[in-house]
């Protein structure tokens, strides 16, 4: 997949035989994947390629008062780009959603961007809106001389799959449900760093993670996880919390890998969230903590 960063429409070169997909795809959940499948089917029939025009950061940064949470993603941009390629995208155009871009009318966006791309067809979601005047897919279909495919909402249960729904589930620690909506296991990447070494003394040595991704984390608790070290995957149990038993005040992510020995300080690892075991607890006695960790370990090892 070819990735091109655009300053504005002037950076767009003439394209041949592409199906254009429009939207902001935080997480690339099953609803987003439906758009990409539709675009790939059209491109295959026409002998063309799939091109996605999207934004590396949330468009809300151009409209809302800043808060650090606006910089967080469900899945890091780098992981999203890898998934775009895996889902059949041939060209990825990344455009910063700036104030000047936000001021474009729908008609100007059609002329400056879609006109320059000159696609064979356009694919958007049922709730796609664009332009300062807030036009939708129906407007696109009327304004363009090429086919416009508006993909209907994808539901799980009675509720549509959306990034908003996924972020709410993460705040509740419901990572198993999150993975069902994503269609893959959510993960984070970080560096293994030195901690307090208490886990080793308790018989449960942990890899302490310094998070590298700007992502929404699950709620505090203990989780069943998979940890990737190099090319090898290990079942693990991972805690995210403040180590309240020992008076901790800083949020920490610590993974105990099963059937693993050795030191991996300074290495990048990926933690895949599979399911939540329990909430974080404060134990009055160390032996109570050890007994609970043994129970957690049994649950994590037997999880399927």
pLDDT of residue 283: 87
The whole model's pTM is what? 0.93
- Whether 209 and 94 map to the same domain: the answer is no
H-helix or E-strand spanning residue 167: helix 163-171
Asked whether residue 177 is domain-assigned, the answer is: no
CATH number of the domain within which 43 lies: 3.40.50.620
Residue 233 Cα to chain centre, angstroms: 20
CATH number of the domain within which 208 lies: 2.40.30.30
pLDDT along the chain (304 residues), means of 10: 96 87 96 98 96 96 93 96 97 96 97 96 96 96 97 94 97 98 98 82 86 97 97 96 74 95 93 97 87 95 95
- Whether 225 and 280 map to the same domain: the answer is yes
Tell me the C-alpha distance between 214 and 189, whole Å: 10
Domain boundary among 126, 160, 194: 160
Contact between 269 and 212 under an 8 Å Cβ cutoff? The reply is: no
Provide the domain count of the chain.
2
Tell me the C-alpha distance between 241 and 199, whole Å: 14
C-alpha dihedral sign at 67, 240, 30, 42: positive
Q: CB atoms < 10 A from the CB of 278, how many?
A: 14
pLDDT of residue 247: 66
- Whether 95 and 210 map to the same domain: the answer is no
pLDDT of residue 284: 79
């Amino acid at each position: 997949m070819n990735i091109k960063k655009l300053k504005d429409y002037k950076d767009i070169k003439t394209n041949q035989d592409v199906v254009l997909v429009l939207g902001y795809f935080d997480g690339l959940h099953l609803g987003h994947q439906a758009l990409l499948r539709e675009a790939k089917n059209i491109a295959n029939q026409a002998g063309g390629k799939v091109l996605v025009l999207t934004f590396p950061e949330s468009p809300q940064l151009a409209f809302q008062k800043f808060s650090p949470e606006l910089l967080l993603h469900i899945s890091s941009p780098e992981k999203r780009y890898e998934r775009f390629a895996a889902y059949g995208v041939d060209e990825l155009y990344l455009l910063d959603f700036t104030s000047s871009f936000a001021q474009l009318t729908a008609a100007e966006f059609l002329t400056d961007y879609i006109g320059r791309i000159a696609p064979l067809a356009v694919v958007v979601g049922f709730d796609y809106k664009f332009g300062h005047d807030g036009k939708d897919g129906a407007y696109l279909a009327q304004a363009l001389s090429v086919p416009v495919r508006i993909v209907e909402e994808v539901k799980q249960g009675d509720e549509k799959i959306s990034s908003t729904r996924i972020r709410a589930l993460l705040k509740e620690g419901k990572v198993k449900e999150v993975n069902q909506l994503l269609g893959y296991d959510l993960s984070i990447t970080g560096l293994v760093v030195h901690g307090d070494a208490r886990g080793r003394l308790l018989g449960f040595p942990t890899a302490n993670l310094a998070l590298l991704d700007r992502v929404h984390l699950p709620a505090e608790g203990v989780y069943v996880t998979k940890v990737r070290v190099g090319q090898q995957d290990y079942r693990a149990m991972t805690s995210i919390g403040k180590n309240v038993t020992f008076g901790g005040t800083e949020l920490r992510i610590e993974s105990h890998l099963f059937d693993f020995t050795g030191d991996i300080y300074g290495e990048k690892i990926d933690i895949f969230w599979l399911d939540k075991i329990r909430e974080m607890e404060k134990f009055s006695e160390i032996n109570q903590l050890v007994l609970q960790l043994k129970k957690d370990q049994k649950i994590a090892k037997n999880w399927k």
